[in-house]
Amino acid sequence: MDVKSAFLNGELQEEVYVRQPPGFVVAGQEDKVLRLDKALYGLHQAPRAWNAKLDETLVALGFSHSASEHAVYACD
């Protein structure tokens, strides 16, 4: 399965702060940082967050994990 923008859909389990990106800096608040609500590409937590979201969704839809491979699902 190929999901467009997959890593942008993962929900972070911890607080992650980033600097304001160039071109989006708020004038007069250049020293402020931003707290992420969702994962971003390049973030170390992004693959794990996306996998957790995908797993939660597939299990809620009635799929179960393969006994031999956690990333393989089957519909009962």
The rounded distance, in Å, linking the Cα atoms of 75 and 59 is 9
Name the DSSP letter for residue 45. T
| Closest alpha carbon to 40 in 68, 62, 19 | 19
**How does pLDDT run across 26-44, given as a tens digit for each residue?**
999 999 999 998 888 888 9
Q: How many helices (H) and strands (E) does the chain have?
A: 1, 4
How confident is the model at residue 47, as a pLDDT? Answer: 87
- State the average pLDDT over residues 9-35: 92
Give the pLDDT confidence score for residue 29 in this predicted structure: 93
Residues 39 and 8 sit within 8 Å (Cβ to Cβ): yes
Residue ranges per structural domain of the chain: 6-74
So what's the pLDDT on residue 33? 95
Residue-wise pLDDT for 52-68, tens only, equals 989 999 999 999 988 89
How far apart CA 14 and CA 46 sit, in angstroms, is 12
Mean pLDDT over 6-16 rounds to 88
Which pLDDT does position 71 carry in this prediction?
86
